[in-house]
Amino acid sequence: MLQLTTLHCVWPVALPKATAAVEGMVAIKEKVLKELTFGARVAEEEASELASYFVETEQWNQVWQDEVDIVYGSKGSGKSAIYATITARESQLFDRNILISPAESPQGSPAFATLDANTIIDEDQFVGLWKLYFLAVIADTFADYDLRSPAARSVVRTLTDAGMVPGRNVSLRQKLANAADYVRRMFSEIEPSVSVAGVVDVSTRIRFTEPDNTQRSNGAVYVDDLLDTAGRALEGEGLKLWLLLDRLDVAFAGKPNLERQALRALFKVYLDIRSIDRIRLKIFLRSDIWKAITAGGFREASHIARELTLSWGRAALLQLVTQRMVRNKALRDFYGVPYEDVASVAGQEDLFQRVYPEQVENGPNKPKTFDWCLTRTSDGTKRTAPRELIHLLTEARGVQLRRQEVGEDEPAGEALFDGSSLKGALPAVSETRLNKTLYAEHPDLKQYMLALEGHKTNHSIQSLAAIWEVPPDEAKAAALRLVDIGFFERRAQMQFWVPFLYRPALNLVQGSAEGINSSGDTPPALAGEDSPADKD
């Protein structure tokens, strides 16, 4: 009896202490989770914040050190993040005697979105338009920085006479409209307008072909000479100028023929002015658009050397995620992790494993959580873009908070997340990627993707032909196009596999369509087929 009484006395004292400790931990973790942010999916939405956690990769350094002019990458790969960080560090570039001028609107409606197929007829006219437009942007930069050398004054005066610079701080859209109007007028005339005195009309004196001696004596100016003069003006001041071009996919959205003409002309202009060391075009372009505009041949492509294609390996993505995590003060304090602790790969792995569970799905053949995240956000190219990974982790935060609000169990130990929250986040990522990227940018292929809803994840030409109700040759052509945009992963024996990224949005059923030997010539785990480790 004495022993029972003792026990009875101990529990009322000990239990509240334990409960209080648990409740205190729950409250702290909930506070950390509520304050946790990974930043916006899209760089344009957080330009002012991006600099605080931007990861300076070797690829970034190549652009920053002026070793690269053309940056290719898939959507969400970080092109706009590099662009935004360059513009945010304008003062640092100025200290290096480098001026920057956006030649396309970083936000809002792009200047080139106002062009239509009737504005400019062919690539030659587009070449003239790009050169004249760039000159208008350059002249505005000269005015902004008060460059008054004879060369600078000559450029501004010539463009003003031609109606290109009606005033300082004219919008890019208006600059483009002025340039397009001038190009239309010039290409509609065999000779420039001539006054009664035999002098070239100043409003049409910029020429897009080399003027002869008579034309020059009458005041005609070759557009390439005007660009050279702009380069000399910068050289005289000891300056360089970077003209930045991003969001070109948005500028010509829904106008594939116009896009092809305009961008092929842009790269011709890039090559024409690359000898002007003081003027650099910095072009950020989606890889699939570059592939489309060069399909069928593009001789100039072989001459482009200062280029790179953005790619993100596992280490770079882990660094990206953990850099964004430690930016949150509440998380740093809770885990006792200073910034410098995530400088190493070991530190990054340790932090991620403390915040998230070891595995999303338990089992000896199941991947670790970070690798699970990568496989669920990679497309048919087997590459993960930062945008989808950040979206997954952001959505998981929302799912975790909602689960806790309705009284579901807390994650074990010091972890903020459990596996169910990560799995619950995937449908939103899948829907966004499918609707806002693939459907929006490839509307002609939408019908093929939609038709697969509710079907299996692995297909042959025959199964696709049956689903799409088209001949096998047509099914093959469509399937290969879906491979190009990353919806399908092409595998051995002309099989086509839908990555995990797109499965939730289409309610796909894991497995192979009827009649497919999924084993092929290679064991599934090696071929990349759904192996036990991949299964949901």
Taking only the tens place, the pLDDT of each residue in 161-208 is 887 776 666 788 888 888 888 888 888 764 444 444 444 455 558 988
Instruction: Please report, to the nearest 10 degrees, the dihedral formed by the alpha carbons of residues 440, 443, 445, 450 taken in order.
Output: 70
Domain end point (choices 275, 309, 343)? 309
The token pair at 76 is 């969400």
Whether residue 478 is contained in a domain is answered as yes
Whether residue 483 is contained in a domain is answered as yes
Residues 171 and 100 in one domain: yes
| Listed range (37-51, 92-106, 110-124, 420-434) with the worst mean pLDDT | 37-51
First CA to last CA distance, the chain: 55
Domain end point (choices 309, 336, 368)? 309
Q: What is the mean pLDDT of residues 105-122?
A: 74
Tens of pLDDT, residues 276-300: 999 999 999 998 889 888 888 888 8
Q: Do residues 390 and 39 make contact, with C-beta atoms less than 8 angstroms apart?
A: yes
Residues 277 and 216 in one domain: yes
Q: List, as one string, the DSSP characters of 33-67.
A: HHH-----SSGGGGHHHHTTT----HHHHHHHTT-
Q: How much is the pTM? A: 0.79
**At a CB cut-off of 8 Å and minimum separation 6, what does 270 contact?**
69, 70, 281, 283, 304
| DSSP assignment letter at 209 | S
The token pair at 159 is 């463009």
Residues 294 and 227 in one domain: yes
Residues 119 and 262 in one domain: yes
- Which pLDDT score is estimated for 53? 58
Whether residue 189 is contained in a domain is answered as yes
Residues 109 and 201 in one domain: yes
Q: Do residues 504 and 454 make contact, with C-beta atoms less than 8 angstroms apart?
A: no
- Which pLDDT score is estimated for 252? 81
| DSSP assignment letter at 149 | S
Whether residue 521 has pLDDT greater than 70: no
Whether residue 323 is contained in a domain is answered as no
Instruction: Please report, to the nearest 10 degrees, the dihedral formed by the alpha carbons of residues 172, 175, 177, 183 taken in order.
Output: -140
Whether residue 364 is contained in a domain is answered as yes
Q: What is the mean pLDDT of residues 379-400?
A: 94
| DSSP assignment letter at 298 | -
Whether residue 137 is contained in a domain is answered as yes
Whether residue 402 is contained in a domain is answered as yes
Residues 90 and 152 in one domain: yes
Find the farthest-apart pair of alpha carbons in the chain and give their distance in angstroms, rounded.
126
Q: For residue 488, give its domain range.
A: 356-527
Q: Is 146 left (phi over 0), alpha (psi -120 to 50) or beta?
A: left
Q: Strand, helix or coil at 243?
A: strand
Residues 185 and 265 in one domain: yes
Whether residue 27 is contained in a domain is answered as no
Residues 287 and 419 in one domain: no
Residues 296 and 372 in one domain: no
Q: What is the mean pLDDT of the chain?
A: 84
Residues 120 and 260 in one domain: yes
Residue 415: which of 33, 21, 17 has the closest Cα? 33
Whether residue 301 has pLDDT greater than 80: yes
Residues 284 and 363 in one domain: no
Highest mean pLDDT among 72-86, 108-122, 430-444, 519-533: 430-444
Task: Please count the structural domains in the chain.
Answer: 2
**% of the chain at pLDDT higher than 90:** 53
522 falls in which pLDDT band (50, 70, 90)?
Answer: very low
Residues 166 and 302 in one domain: yes
Distance CA 163, CA 141 (A): 17
Domain end point (choices 274, 309, 344)? 309
Q: What is the mean pLDDT of residues 339-350?
A: 90
What residues form DSSP beta bridges with 282?
244
Tell which wins on pLDDT, 519 or 214: 214
Q: How many CA atoms lie within 13 A of 359 on its CB side?
A: 10
